[in-house]
Homo-oligomer: A and B are copies of this chain.
Amino acid sequence: MPEEILELIEGKKFARLREILAEMNPADIATILEDIPERDLPVIFRILPKELAAEVFVEMDSEMQQFLIEAFSDKELRDVMDELFMDDTVDIIDEMPATVAKRILQQTDAQTRKMINQLLAYPDDSAGSIMTTEYIDLKKTMTVDQAFDRIRAIGVDTETIYTCYVIDKSRRLLGIVTVKDLLLHEKTCVIGDIMDENIIFANTMDDKEEVAGQFEKYDMLALPVVDKENRLVGIITVDDAIDVIQEEATEDIEKMAAILPSDKSYFRTGVFATFRSRIPWLLLLMISATFTGAIISNFEGKLTIFPALIAFIPMLMDTGGNSGSQASVTIIRGISLGDIEFGDLFRVIWKEIRVAFCCSITLAAVNFVKLLLIDNLVLHTFDPGKQMYEIAVVCLTLFFTVIVAKLVGCTLPILAKKIGFDPAVMASPFITTIVDAISLVIYFNTAMMILGM
């Protein structure tokens, strides 16, 4: 399919091209347009039917949008902008350089411009920033038939018609009515009698991640957004909630891997931008490893007397780090999904202690057997006759390290969240460094006690 289209573009067979594209989905057209030379873009874009052109425009990435806007005449720009929903317009303006944004705003009427500026003012992570201002509003005195008339009248220009919002004169939200309700009631029924007054809504300044969570919990198609005076100012549709859910998951994953989150996909992020998102944590974690280095330096002299102990340092540190990050990642995800709160701290600790106990017993036991079988009999790097005490040191350290690692891993994210830090950032990248230091301290102290170093 894409090859056929590229051929048509090269052959300049625009009539046939228009026919094919008109039948396609906007998202698919946008994907194809990514692969054609930029100079052909305006031509192809102009042959699309007006409404479809606007839908394709929304699906493009911001570089392509900017390129097209700069190629558009004022009239073309106005035509595209007129077809867009308010939330998409705001998203596009938000991504553009100031001069391009200004030009877009100049092509809109005063009222729209005011609305856009209001929406642009909402913080990036707020419900207000992802809402759209086009929705079906009804009065509670209307009949079902009148409601359908209103849907027919303004429905073409709203993103969803399936949930309608019943408001009073000062635009306060009184209830919601779905088209399903409308269809299943008599035409003469009054909206006020059939509307659902038990409304789930968000405030403009609510965190958008929490709002997206409401969609998951309540299986909604749209959620009304009200301002401080409880006036309805917009709605959030389920497709935008899905985007938020995916973005937040990606962000959490990036933070857990010590990467500064970015909102662009892999290939859209330049080499230098990728470098900048990765280097801060690498530097910070490298420098914080000075602590582990200092701990080892302290014991340097003693390690030269028992050199066999050095070989176990990576295994102890890694096992501690893995144990800790298992706990922290589980808790961080639980916090994100709303399963775990600060009040659960002691429940979490109690559970993790028991899990840690099972894990550390198993690991210590398996390690004991492994030393006797693999390291002793296969690799001959270990002599249980001479190094009996060293076995004890390693297995005991393993036991205590895993328990401490799990406890640090499970408490740190919850405490970070409590004091207002992002659990994913504060907890995950640091776990390894903290647990490394702790495991070395445990190791050397155990060695001193048992080996009398």
Contacts and interface: CB of A to CB of B under 8 A. Distances in A.
Interface of A: 23-25, 27, 148, 151-152, 155-156, 161-162, 179-180, 183-184, 198, 200, 215-219, 221, 238-239, 241-243, 245-246, 249-250, 252-254, 256-259, 265-267, 271-272, 274-275, 278-279, 281-283, 285-287, 289-290, 292-294, 296-297, 300-301, 303-304, 307-308, 310-315, 317-319, 321-323, 325-326, 329-331, 333-334, 337, 339-340, 344, 347-348, 351, 354-355, 358-359, 362-363, 366-367, 370, 374-375, 379, 381, 398, 402, 429, 432-433, 436, 440
B310 A358 contact: no
A271 B359 CA distance: 11
A156 to B, nearest CB: 7
A150 to B, nearest CB: 11
A330 B161 contact: no
Contact of A254 (B279, B297, B330, B339): B330
29 contacts: A23-B198, A155-B183, A161-B180, A162-B179, A246-B249, A253-B253, A253-B333, A254-B333, A258-B326, A267-B339, A271-B358, A272-B358, A274-B355, A275-B358, A278-B323, A278-B355, A281-B322, A283-B366, A286-B318, A286-B319, A290-B379, A293-B315, A294-B381, A296-B310, A297-B308, A300-B308, A301-B307, A304-B307, A318-B436
A173 to B, nearest CB: 16
B300 A148 contact: no
Nearest to A402: B282
Contacts of A337: 246, 250, 265
Contact of A367 (B242, B250, B286, B321): B286
Contact of A286 (B293, B355, B366, B432): B366
B278 A381 contact: no
Contacts of A318: 285-286, 289, 292, 432-433, 436
Nearest to A245: B245
A330 B273 CA distance: 14
A321 B436 CA distance: 13
Contact of A296 (B239, B314, B432): B314
Contact of A242 (B27, B242, B267, B300): B242
Given A239-B219, A290-B374, A292-B315, A283 B183 contact: no
Contacts of A374: 287, 290
A31 B348 CA distance: 19
A340 B266 contact: yes
A274 B242 contact: no
A433 B317 CA distance: 11
A310 B275 CA distance: 29
Contacts of A296: 310-311, 313-314
> Which 6 A/B pairs are nearest by Cβ-Cβ distance?
A289-B315, A249-B249, A257-B329, A219-B239, A292-B314, A296-B311
Contact of A297 (B243, B329, B381): B381
A257 B433 contact: no
Contacts of A272: 358
A426 B366 CA distance: 23
Given A257-B325, A303-B310, A362-B283, A271 B354 contact: yes
